[in-house]
Amino acid sequence: ILFKTRWGLIIRALGENPKTVDAARIRVHLSRYLSVILGSMLMAIGGAYYSLIDLRSFNLNVGGEWSWIALALVILGNWNPLWVWLACIFFGMLNAVQAWLVATVIQIPYQFFQSIPYVVTIAASAILGKRVRPPKALLQPYRRE
């Protein structure tokens, strides 16, 4: 959607240079608000799926410890949806491996295995974090001239 549609081009342009979107006579603030609303709806659907379908119960603060991991995965994915998806798949595999190791290896404390995905995320952030470039207009308010 972000690379093949007009709306995706507008969203990417909003992140890099909102003045070009304004020059194309597209309302910058409305487009930003709609993008945030749509993204929030998708996150709400994902959170509801995770807490109600995957965990089969409702719990407060169900993903609290994973929120910084999600931000790190977006940064490690270089703000590209495909690379972020691959980073999430890799993190999910690490999480599955640590659960398998906890169940099969008895001699080592389980906390060691549970920390593997987090340690790998921190290490990858430290190694790859310098090369990542966020969108230029990220968190920058737009003032029309």
| Residue 82 structure tokens | 């495909």
Residue whose C-alpha is closest to residue 101's, from 114, 120, 118: 114
**Tens-place pLDDT, residues 1-51:** 778 888 888 888 888 888 988 989 999 999 999 989 998 999 888 877 777
Q: What share of the chain is helix, strand, coil (3-state, %, to 5)?
A: 70, 0, 30
55 and 83 both lie in a single domain:
no
72 and 53 both lie in a single domain:
no
Top pLDDT among 119 and 110 is at: 119
pLDDT at position 70 is 83
The identity of residue 126, as a single letter, is A
Top pLDDT among 61 and 42 is at: 42
pLDDT at position 37 is 95
pLDDT at position 103 is 81
Top pLDDT among 103 and 27 is at: 27
74 and 50 both lie in a single domain:
no
pLDDT at position 86 is 92
51 and 122 both lie in a single domain:
no
Domain count for the chain:
2
57 and 126 both lie in a single domain:
no
Look at residue 96 and tell me whether its pLDDT is greater than 70.
Answer: yes
Most confident stretch, 1-5, 82-86, 120-124, 129-133: 82-86
1 and 58 both lie in a single domain:
yes
Three-state DSSP at 10 gives helix
pLDDT at position 64 is 67
72 and 141 both lie in a single domain:
yes
The identity of residue 8, as a single letter, is G
Residue whose C-alpha is closest to residue 125's, from 84, 73, 81, 67: 73
Top pLDDT among 61 and 122 is at: 122
Span 76-84, average pLDDT: 85
39 and 94 both lie in a single domain:
no
40 and 11 both lie in a single domain:
yes
54 and 67 both lie in a single domain:
no
Residue whose C-alpha is closest to residue 90's, from 60, 128, 45, 39: 128
67 and 134 both lie in a single domain:
yes
pLDDT at position 34 is 92
Length of the chain: 145
* Rounded Cα–Cα distance for residues 29 and 10 (Å): 12
Its domain, for residue 102, covers: 63-145
17 and 39 both lie in a single domain:
yes
